[in-house]
Structure formats: structure tokens, C-alpha cells
Amino acid sequence: MSSAVAVTTAEFDEKVLKSDVPVLVDFWAVWCGPCRMVGPHVDAVAEEFKDTAKVMKVDVDAEGEIAAKYGIMSIPTLLYFKNGEVADQVVGAVPKAVIAEKLQKLVG
């Protein structure tokens, strides 16, 4: 079971853009090998930051509108939101430490 919460187009504004804490959004797809590599890292970061940030997942096949809005061309793409704005991003499979470090900078 994933610690990261799936978010839909309908919920995106409320759960991500209006969040009072930083939000990491993992744009992924079931068929994406690198996404499967990063998935456990994203889940671990979700657990690690559960009291200070949110971690969400967007399936680009099911929620193409959000992916298009943010210009997602390659997956996995991790977007870091703070105060409703994209504050940082990572494209491709990266180690857990990189994912956590960028989120820690936003949490403070």
C-alpha cells in the first residue's frame, strides 16, 4: 500500500495548490519502469514527512489534464509545491536522498 495519496484533476486545486504545507507530487504511470523504481522512495519520503508535508501521486494516463497543465513530458517527474506554486522539480529516477532533501528545503 502506497503512503503517497492519489490525487485527481477534480481534487488537485484543493489538495495541492491550497495546501498549507509543502506538497510533493509524483507524476507517474503503471507502465513506466523508472516510475516503479522511484515509487518506493516516494512512499518512504511520504512516511518520513507525514507530519510536515503531503505527498501525492498523479497517474498521467488517468489525469492527463494535470500533466498537460504542468508540461509533464517525461515521467517520473516530481513537482514540489509551496504556497500553490511549483518550487522545485526532479525528472527521472533519483535516489531517495535527493527527493527528501528537496522536500526538506521547503519544509524548513
In sequence order, what are the residues at sequence separation of 6 or more whose Cβ sits closer than 8 angstroms to the Cβ of residue 11?
none
13 is catalytic: no
Residue 9, classed as helix, strand or coil, is helix
Active-site residue, selected from the candidate residues 16, 35, 38, 42 = 35
Q: What are phi and psi of 85, to 5 degrees?
A: -120, 150
Side-chain half-sphere CA neighbours of 55 within 13 A: 24
32 is catalytic: yes
Active-site residue, selected from the candidate residues 4, 7, 25, 32 = 32
Residues identified as active-site: 32, 35
